[in-house]
Chain A
Amino acid sequence: MGYPHRPHPRETPVLSAHFGDPDARSLTGWRTRGGYVALERALGQTPGAIVDEVKASGLRGRGGAGFPTGIKWSFMRPGDGKPHYLCCNADESEPGTFKDREIMRWTPHALVEGVAIGAYAIGATTAYIYIRGEFTEPLQRVETAVREAYAAGILGADAMGSGHRIDVHVHRGAGAYICGEETALMNSIEGKRGNPRIKPPFPAVAGLFGQPTTINNVESLAAVPHILTRGAAWYQSLQLSNPKSVGTKLFSVCGNVARPGNYEMVLGFPFGEFLEDVVGGAPTGRKIKAVIPGGSSVPMLTRDEAMGAVMDYEGMIAAGTMLGSGGVIVFDDSQSIPRMVARLARFYAHESCAQCSQCREGTAWTTRILERICAGEGTYADLDTLLDIADNMTGKTICVLSDSCAAPVVSGLQKFRHEFEALIPKKQNTVAVAAD
């Protein structure tokens, strides 16, 4: 549902069906809503059968990359004699994204159940849920759910009487966007600075504590119990013309819109209808100018581009951007794109772990130039320098944080160059033009 609003008739609430319903938070409440039936059934099957079912469902990672969840699980070799780990990535920090927060606030047992199923499927006896430090309420809700699940024998040495051990621990972050990057997240659990690791080795080979590890997003794991209960075919049937992007996805909508909130849509929904009809468009009297459709790390779209886009993995790529985390940021015609881009660049400069020089220097330099432009002290040459720096920040670092900083800068300059130019003092304009 469009929490905090009433569900829109065009939504398909699966994960969000109980948002806003405090009774769904407790173990008893969750069980009366069908909770833990999927886990109990899963523990009676082989791990391979669960992996196959999730593969067949077509579920793709909801954290941003869109990698098929079942295939990721299949990289874990059962019976290799090593301890396996499952990490649930609840470090939701991507500007524009606030969906995992609502899953944890309203349906914490949905996550605990998904985590337990995931752990069993990959042959792990221990799972860690890594929750960002600022999420105090989600943290408390999930900790309570884990405690209840242990007390009821759902977790522990003999999970649901199956003879299988499943331990789930909550690990609180402490303020670092980069810990949402899977290898940084593992370092953070290990008690280190959250610096991303060079891949390979990939986590499935050598991850947390050097052992085979799978990292899944909150929303992906929360979808798993539904898939096991209703079947892969049901999940596959949730599609609108694109068999590669199936199921429902939570879209967090924020910025200048009439009804900000979380909306659960079947993938493939027309973005234009979503923005105008479901979300209610820009606030009264204003017009949408630009939209960042998948969290701040993806290229921004003009209003016209957004209106023609399709809300799924392939549809957003066709529109020149990405589905990402599903965090939809809307800017109306009262906003200055250079100012918004400058503020995003400052975010990335602040959050760079500073390992790679392209990122450490590039994000800071980009921010300084953009803030100079916004202060009316920029030059034409600055615009070219920004693109040059962005080029050096793309595809050249250990992780994609610096690429993420470049995305709004490049797309902002490509699509709204006139707004940047308008901030450049006229006198320097003339000089720059004359110099050309």
Chain B
Amino acid sequence: MTHETTADAGPVFIGTIREELEAICARYPSRQAALLPGLWIIQRERGWVSPAAMEEIAGLLGCSAAHVKGVVTFYTMYHQHPVGRHFIQVCTTSPCGACGADDVVRTLLEKTGCGELGVTSADGRFTVIEVECLGACGFATPIMINDEFHESVTPARVPTILAQLK
């Protein structure tokens, strides 16, 4: 995942990326159905979904920018702002909460220098958030770093996991 911080990086869907979107559109009887996959492409390319990108995909899929904004704000995984290079989500829902997830959160906030949930560290490397049930309750506490799952994370394992990140 690359993370550009400028909103005016130009259109996303050009060349092969436009072809990728069109191939996805062919899977559905309506172009609008390609919206979630299209937003995933934007986030993969730019690290977040900017207002300019929302307008761009609205035009390509034949829906309004307001509709796209409504969708982006509904789903928690689309970033509406740039985030740290390593976006860390910690499951703290009850089953993980019963197994020490809050201690994992505290340790992550301390060791990454983020200090607070949702705040990006000063060096731009980390953002830590709590996430609702990651669907890996038997492997408490699961955390997700960008697209990578780490299972059975304990406060003691946090420094090792962070040391592996650039």
Contacts and interface: CB of A to CB of B under 8 A. Distances in A.
Given A254-B95, A255-B137, A340-B98, A172 B74 contact: no
Interface string A316-347: 00000000000101011001000110011001
B35 A95 contact: no
Interface residues of B, number: 44
Interface string B130-145: 0111111111100010
A93 B75 CA distance: 14
A133 interface: yes
B30 A209 contact: yes
A344 B37 contact: no
Interface stretch (A71-79, A187-195, A306-314, A394-402): A187-195
Contacts of A93: 132-133, 135
B98 A255 contact: yes
A134 B135 contact: yes
Contacts of A171: 36-37
Interface stretch (A36-44, A96-104, A413-421): A96-104
A176 interface: yes
Interface stretch (A55-63, A224-232, A256-264, A357-365): A256-264
A353 to B, nearest CB: 8
Contacts of A177: 132-133
A212 to B, nearest CB: 14
Interface residues of A, number: 55
Contacts of B71: 191-193
Interface in B67-94: 67, 70-71, 74-78, 89, 92-94
B54 interface: no
Contacts of A340: 94, 97-98
Contacts of A331: 98
A193 B70 contact: yes
B35 to A, nearest CB: 3
B92 A343 contact: yes
A94 interface: yes
Task: Label chain B's interface by main secondary structure.
Answer: mixed
A137 interface: yes
A132 B89 CA distance: 15
B148 A136 contact: yes
Contacts of A83: 29
B32 A95 contact: no
B138 A262 contact: yes
A136 B87 CA distance: 14
A174 B147 contact: no
A350 B78 contact: no
B77 A134 contact: yes
Contact of B138 (A193, A254, A347): A254
B39 interface: yes
A190 B37 contact: no
B166 interface: no
A173 interface: yes
A64 to B, nearest CB: 14
Interface string B29-61: 110111111011000000000000000000001
A94 B95 CA distance: 11
Nearest to B144: A134
Contacts of B94: 95, 255, 296, 329, 340, 343-344, 347
B95 A96 contact: yes
A32 to B, nearest CB: 28
Given A95-B133, A173-B75, A209-B30, 13 more contacts: A96-B95, A96-B137, A132-B135, A133-B77, A136-B148, A137-B149, A173-B36, A191-B32, A191-B36, A194-B75, A327-B137, A329-B98, A332-B98
16 contacts: A92-B135, A93-B132, A95-B95, A136-B149, A174-B36, A174-B77, A175-B76, A190-B30, A191-B32, A209-B30, A254-B95, A260-B139, A296-B94, A332-B98, A343-B93, A351-B132
Interface of B: 27-30, 32-37, 39-40, 61, 63, 67, 70-71, 74-78, 89, 92-95, 97-99, 131-140, 144, 147-149
